[in-house]
Structures are given as C-alpha cells and as structure tokens.
Amino acid sequence: MTIQSLYTAATGMEAMESKLDVIANNMANINTTAFKKDRANFEDVFYRQYRLPGALDADSNRTATGVEVGLGTRVSSTQSNFKQGSFQTTNNPLDFAIEGDGFFRVQNPNGDFYYTRSGNFNLNAEGQLVLGSAQKGYVVGDGISIPNDATAIVVTADGEVQYSTQTQTSLQSAGKLELSKFVNPDGLLKLGENLYQKTDASGDEQTGKPGQDGFGNLRQGFLEASNVEPVTELIDLITTQRSFELNSQVVQAGDQVMQLVANLRRV
C-alpha cells in the first residue's frame, strides 16, 4: 500500500535532520580549539519480505532472487575525525599543541580523569597548571606547579616542564607532561568543554612521553585549530538539504496517489 512510502520517506527526512544537526555542530565549532569534526553514518532498516530468495517456484525450481521492500533508513552512528588540525602560533609559553596522537590528561577535584587536545592552559592561584577555562579549574597532568616568580617556562621534547627565576637563572624542573592515548578514540565519551571521558568502548588508557612509543610531539607556543573544513561542510549542507527535499517530495507523491485511489473507490 502506498501509505508505506509515507513512513519510509519520513525516516529519510528524520535521518537528514540528524545529519543537519551534526553539520550544524561542526560549523558552530569551526573556531573551537582542537575540535574534531563528526560524521553521521546511516543504515537501512527492516525489510518487508514478500518472497524470500531461493524459494521454490511452481515447477519446484529455486528462484534466484526474492521480493523485498525496504522500510527506510536510520542513523547508525556518529564518528569523529581525529585528523590533525592546523597549528596556530600564539607565542604563549602555556599554550601547547599535540603533533600526532595523544591527549592531555586533566583531573577534577574528585580525582576523576578527563582528556583533551585543547592545550590552552594557565596557572591558578597556587601556581598549578590548569585548564585555561572560566568554567572548570581542572589540574593538568600530575599537579605541575610553577612558582609565582618564574620568569621563563620551557617544555622539553619529552614533556618536562622547566622554569627559571630572576634569582635562579638555571632551569629547574616543575614536573612532566605525559600524554594518553586509546585503542579506540571514537569510544571516548564527549562531555563538552573540549573534554573526553574514558569508556569501555575506548579501551584502557595508555600513557607515555611525548615523541616516544607512538605518542605525538609537543609544540610550545602553538594551539591546534579545529579540523572542520568549511567548504566540505557547505557541500554536505547543500546535499543534505536536497536529500530532505527529495524525501518530502516522495511524501507528497504518496499522498497524491492515495487521494487518487480514494477517488477511484468513490466512482
């Protein structure tokens, strides 16, 4: 019955709405530090089986195919693209970009760990290295502290944070920045505020020094930009809008056919 076309096309419209939401979020975060763009994946749903493939015909011969009518589509998942973003020069000694794989690990007051690629850090009142956020005061790494009279801050290739003062010009160690990575970064739970949380899907955390064992290098005085490509998102936006319109036309066509059938019944 043609009424099925209405429901099938409606699933297509709903799927395109979800894709539009993903595109809108990508575009909204085009200037978000270290943001990783998302992609909506789709899958077909159940099929109505009128005749199964390989069924016997009237002469007891196996048929090569069957009669199947699909019932639409739905969003199967959203995946993040962890492609490296470009580097923006800031010349701020507390700005860090990861060149390659890895996340910075931060800790909330309850002791829970979160992960981020946004390296715009700052110092709190106690001199601890924390997220440069007005919303969260999470401590970076294992509590790296820098004194108030520090005149220079340097991070070595292996993540050691060093500083010097006016009275002590030679560099002194304040701690080390380690990176974390996961077997399945797509399995990380997105919390907003550039933070991720470990889940069973992401696998266990692996920690290591920057530049070693597959971990990315640290670049001081840089920030990683969003990897959203405006032209690509604009093309996706246009195709999504056209797909939504086509599905709406299917709904209109199905409605017109049903009106025609209803009129025929009155004759």
d(CA 129, CA 138): 9
d(CA 107, CA 139): 5
- What tokens does 31 get? 């200037």
Q: How confident is the model at residue 266 (pLDDT cuts 50, 70, 90)?
A: low
Q: What is the pLDDT of residues 58-92, one digit of tens each?
A: 888 888 888 888 899 999 999 999 999 999 999 99
pTM confidence score: 0.86
* Pairing relationship of beta strands 179-181 and 195-197 according to DSSP bridges: unpaired
Q: What is the pLDDT of residues 198-222, one digit of tens each?
A: 999 999 999 999 989 899 999 999 9
Lowest mean pLDDT of 92-96, 153-157, 216-220, 226-230, name the range.
Answer: 153-157
Alpha-carbon Rg of the chain, whole angstroms? 27
Q: What is the pLDDT of residues 19-37, one digit of tens each?
A: 999 999 999 999 999 999 9
Quick one: pLDDT at residue 142? 73
d(CA 175, CA 191): 27
Is residue 131 within 8 Å of residue 138, measured between CB atoms? yes
Quick one: pLDDT at residue 66? 85
Q: Please provide the average confidence, as pLDDT, over all residues in the chain.
A: 90
d(CA 177, CA 162): 11
List the chain domain ranges: 3-82+228-266, 87-224
Quick one: pLDDT at residue 171? 87
Q: How confident is the model at residue 260 (pLDDT cuts 50, 70, 90)?
A: confident
φ, ψ for residue 119, nearest 5 deg: -100, 25
φ, ψ for residue 19, nearest 5 deg: -65, -40
d(CA 154, CA 174): 10
- What tokens does 222 get? 């840089």
